[in-house]
Amino acid sequence: MKTRIAIIGLGKIAIDQHVPSITGNENFELAAIVSGRLATVNGLPSFRTQEELYAAMPDVTAVALCTPPAGRFETTRAALLAGRDVLIEKPPAATLGEIAELTTIAEDQEKVFFTTWHSRFNPAVTEAKRQLTGKRLARLRVDWREDVRRWHPGQAWIWQPGGFGVFDPGINALSIVTEIAPEPLFVSHARLEVPSNRQTPIGAEMTFATPDPVAGADLTAIFDWRQEGPQSWNITAETTEGTVLELTDGGAKLAVDGKPALAEESQEYQRIYAMFADLLASRTSHVDVRPLRLVADAYLVGDRVAVEAFED
Amino acid sequence: MKTRIAIIGLGKIAIDQHVPSITGNENFELAAIVSGRLATVNGLPSFRTQEELYAAMPDVTAVALCTPPAGRFETTRAALLAGRDVLIEKPPAATLGEIAELTTIAEDQEKVFFTTWHSRFNPAVTEAKRQLTGKRLARLRVDWREDVRRWHPGQAWIWQPGGFGVFDPGINALSIVTEIAPEPLFVSHARLEVPSNRQTPIGAEMTFATPDPVAGADLTAIFDWRQEGPQSWNITAETTEGTVLELTDGGAKLAVDGKPALAEESQEYQRIYAMFADLLASRTSHVDVRPLRLVADAYLVGDRVAVEAFED
């Protein structure tokens, strides 16, 4: 039987990715939309609030939460307490405390709670993970460099406390490295570059440690929002055996020792919904806090440096 | 049979508290000391490293880790991998990622891992918790005000990234409020006051949210390291029924509606070792990350304000 699911928050990511991925998956039936503007697609019923949806359509047992980050905790909590299974876009909440509480509520309610980190669902990331399994890392280098003026023009919230700054895109890289790394990664050092007129970093460097470090291992990440020319979202991993994996285009492409290893069209969201169907079938939650925990730990132990004021 | 235990790190807290609490508890036998300076007490054998201890005394099955915060992760990990049960002073590690990894290692090794937060073990805190159970909070106010020059003279590390600043004492208050609060607390807002020449806060304000807030609830904490006169380590909690609990002297004393409710001599460390004996008997770990998670979340969502330079 198909799971009747509603999308909460019909923004760009919902329309571009969630709608086609749900309607293209035989395990789901997209049944309704919740939108403050009463927007809809495919002629589906639309409700201003999730409470109205639940009252009108008790057979909608799952929701995909695609609202902006602010207020996600309350929305997710209400959905779980209303007895719905929840899939949520990254980042799952504003703080680690909120995610812990949502996890507890999902357990108490016996509901499925799935915190997706979409970048991980690229087939090239899965292949990189497979190739690194059982290996040790000699080198890891994240280069996540983009132009904030191009991707986040005039978005004031990203610069406010809790807005994550350059970690808003950077957390995608962290969701990939925590997925592919064959050993746990912690933050040993971090440097956060914060514009003198802003609260969140425009650039950051992170050095990772592992529990049992390989001698001479060099594991670092660079995040920069001041990249004006070509943009780069690349991760290079080198094993102690000398194999070099290069994930490029945000995890969409993989080369191994310089040869293309996989370059499928991105199927991130199709794979997200395939996994959600599996989780629903087995009544299992999947909550991964690691990408956000790395950011929190970087804030906790990081050196903060004031840099040039940033104006949009 | 008594658990043979060693103390790793023979500093002031170990000598003042751990040694008498272990020797006063019939479930333990203090068997050895690990000290880089080969310091000892009671004529006990002393070893420069824990590896030397384990090689010489395989029947020492537990360790109490009392070293300074830096390097605790490696020390705890080595103790667990050497098959020892571990009690560790607060804070248990530098980052949340490290604590998560230590928890996993303890599970894999089937060892008991006990992260103590000593302030919680005041009898007055236990009584406050009992009185708040099942109640709702209308008001919570933490006032943790002390003079950093008096308590941490010349300690450069507290001002460096990862040194926690005013949260070094403040985390004791957070360990109490997470213990006594009848509902989960998250950081909704924070304000961190950082001296212009330092990296960690000299003052902080934190506003807490709860999952299902009481209308008008006011839950805040003030941490200040610039308090020159009388020092205060006080927590006031008011229930929706109007009962007012006042924990003073860092959790040592409790008054309820203005009347002293309990003023036993502090027995924090005796109670810590009583709990460790119970955990060892039931082969159960007790890991609580909440106090450190509140600090990390405050860094993550907090507003940072530069304040006057601080000189020792």
Contact B297 A187 (CB under 8 A): no
A282 occurs within a structural domain: no
- The domain boundary, picked from B83, B115, B147, lies at B115
Let me know whether A303 and A171 are in one domain: yes
With tokens 């950011």, the residue in question is A295
User: Catalytic residue among A90, A111, A129, A259, which?
Assistant: A90
Give the Cα separation of A144 and A138 in Å (integer): 20
Q: Where are the alpha helices (DSSP H) in A110-233?
A: 123-132, 148-151, 167-180
Let me know whether A146 and A216 are in one domain: yes
Residue A70: CATH number of its domain = 3.40.50.720
**What residue in A sits closest to B194 (Cα-Cα)?**
A304
Let me know whether B70 and B131 are in one domain: no
Q: What pLDDT is recorded for position A266?
A: 66
A269 occurs within a structural domain: no
Contact B184 A297 (CB under 8 A): no
> In sequence order, which residues have a C-beta less than 8 Å from that of residue B238 and are 6 or more positions away?
B137, B138, B139, B140, B244, B245
Q: What pLDDT is recorded for position B15?
A: 95
As given in the structure block, the two tokens for residue B36 are: 């880089």
pLDDT tens, A137-195? 999 999 999 999 999 888 888 999 888 999 999 999 999 999 999 999 999 999 999 99
B291 occurs within a structural domain: no
Q: What pLDDT is recorded for position A262?
A: 80
Contact B190 A101 (CB under 8 A): no
**What is the number of other CB atoms lying within 10 angstroms of the CB of residue B308?**
11
> In sequence order, which residues have a C-beta less than 8 Å from that of residue B300 and are 6 or more positions away?
A94, A95, A96, A162, A295, A296, A299, B187
Sign of the torsion angle spanned by Cα atoms B10, B15, B18, B21: positive
Contact B290 A97 (CB under 8 A): yes
As given in the structure block, the two tokens for residue B208 are: 């807490």
Contact A186 B302 (CB under 8 A): no
With tokens 């607390």, the residue in question is B185
- The domain boundary, picked from B65, B88, B115, lies at B115
Question: Can you list the positions of beta strands (E) in B58-185?
Answer: 62-65, 85-88, 113-115, 137-145
Residues of B engaging A, defined by a Cβ cutoff of 8 Å: 73, 77, 94-98, 100-101, 104-105, 161-162, 184-187, 189-190, 194, 199, 211, 290, 293-297, 299-304
- With residue A194 as reference, give the H or E element that holds it: strand A186-195
- Report chain A's terminal Cα–Cα distance, integer Å: 50
| Confidence class for position A312, pLDDT limits 50, 70, 90 | confident
B250 occurs within a structural domain: yes
pLDDT in tens, chain B (312 residues): 899 999 999 999 999 999 999 999 999 999 999 999 999 999 999 999 999 999 999 999 999 999 987 789 999 999 999 999 999 999 999 999 999 999 999 999 999 999 999 999 999 999 999 999 999 999 999 999 999 999 988 888 899 988 899 999 999 999 999 999 999 999 999 999 999 999 999 999 999 999 988 999 999 999 999 999 999 999 999 999 999 999 999 999 999 999 999 867 768 999 999 999 999 999 999 999 999 999 999 999 999 999 999 998
Quote the mean pLDDT of chain A.
95
Q: Is the peptide bond before B91 cis (omega within 30 degrees of 0)?
A: yes
- Taking alpha carbons only, the member of B71, B104, B109 closest to residue B88 is B71
Sign of the torsion angle spanned by Cα atoms B212, B216, B217, B218: positive
As given in the structure block, the two tokens for residue A165 are: 């700054």
Q: What pLDDT is recorded for position B84?
A: 98
Let me know whether B109 and B137 are in one domain: no
Q: What pLDDT is recorded for position B263?
A: 63
- Taking alpha carbons only, the member of A248, A48, A39, A45 closest to residue A141 is A248
Considering CB atoms only, which of B101, B301, B304 is closest to A186? B101
Let me know whether B111 and B151 are in one domain: no
| Confidence class for position A213, pLDDT limits 50, 70, 90 | confident
Q: What pLDDT is recorded for position A1?
A: 87
Phi and psi at B126, nearest 5°, equal: -60, -40
Find out whether B222 and B143 touch, Cβ atoms under 8 Å.
yes
B276 occurs within a structural domain: no
- With residue B103 as reference, give the H or E element that holds it: helix B96-109
Let me know whether A109 and A126 are in one domain: no
B125 occurs within a structural domain: yes
As given in the structure block, the two tokens for residue B60 are: 């020492």
Let me know whether A188 and A66 are in one domain: no
- The domain boundary, picked from A115, A134, A163, lies at A115
Catalytic, A90? Answer yes
Let me know whether B102 and B142 are in one domain: no
Residue A152: CATH number of its domain = 3.30.360.10
Give the Cα separation of A168 and A293 in Å (integer): 13
Find out whether A100 and B293 touch, Cβ atoms under 8 Å.
yes
Q: What pLDDT is recorded for position B165?
A: 95
Let me know whether B130 and B242 are in one domain: yes
Considering CB atoms only, which of A73, A294, A301 is closest to B162? A301
Per CB-CB distance under 8 Å, the chain A contacts of B96 are 96, 293, 296-297, 300
Give the Cα separation of B146 and A6 in Å (integer): 52
Total structural domains in chain B? 2
User: Catalytic residue among B2, B12, B90, B111, which?
Assistant: B90
Strands A3-8 and B85-88: unpaired
Considering CB atoms only, which of B162, B187, B303 is closest to A95? B187
Find out whether A7 and A18 touch, Cβ atoms under 8 Å.
yes
Distance from CA of B303 to the nearest CA of A (A): 5
A52 occurs within a structural domain: yes
Let me know whether A215 and A197 are in one domain: yes
Find out whether A119 and A13 touch, Cβ atoms under 8 Å.
no
Q: What pLDDT is recorded for position B162?
A: 85
* Top-confidence residue, A16 or B154: A16
Contact B199 A161 (CB under 8 A): no
Let me know whether A91 and A21 are in one domain: yes
A105 occurs within a structural domain: yes
Counted across chains A and B, CB pairs separated by less than 8 A come out at 94
- Taking alpha carbons only, the member of A107, A110, A11, A103 closest to residue A64 is A11
Mean pLDDT, residues A245-266: 89
**Would you say residue A268 has pLDDT above 80?**
yes
Q: What pLDDT is recorded for position A43?
A: 96
Mean pLDDT, residues A192-205: 96
Q: What pLDDT is recorded for position B107?
A: 98
Mean pLDDT, residues A213-229: 95
Range(s) of the domain holding residue B86: 3-115
Considering CB atoms only, which of B77, B184, B187 is closest to A211? B77
Let me know whether B98 and B149 are in one domain: no
Please tell me the total number of residues recorded for chain B in this structure. 312
> In sequence order, which residues have a C-beta less than 8 Å from that of residue B1 and are 6 or more positions away?
none
**What residue in A sits closest to B99 (Cα-Cα)?**
A186
Find out whether A184 and A140 touch, Cβ atoms under 8 Å.
no
pLDDT tens, A73-132? 999 999 999 999 999 999 999 999 999 999 999 999 999 999 999 999 999 999 999 999
Distance from CA of A300 to the nearest CA of B (A): 6
Residue-wise over B31-54: b if at least 16 C-beta within 10 A, else e? bbbbbeeeebbeeebbbeebeebb
Distance from CA of B36 to the nearest CA of A (A): 22
Among A186, A200, A290, the residue to mutate for chain B (most B Cβ within 10 A): A186
Give the Cα separation of B167 and B144 in Å (integer): 10
Per CB-CB distance under 8 Å, the chain B contacts of A187 are 95, 97
Q: Give Dmax over CA atoms of chain A in angstroms.
A: 61
**Would you say residue A263 has pLDDT above 70?**
no
What is the secondary structure of A17-32 as a DSSP string?
IIHHHHHT-TTEEEEE
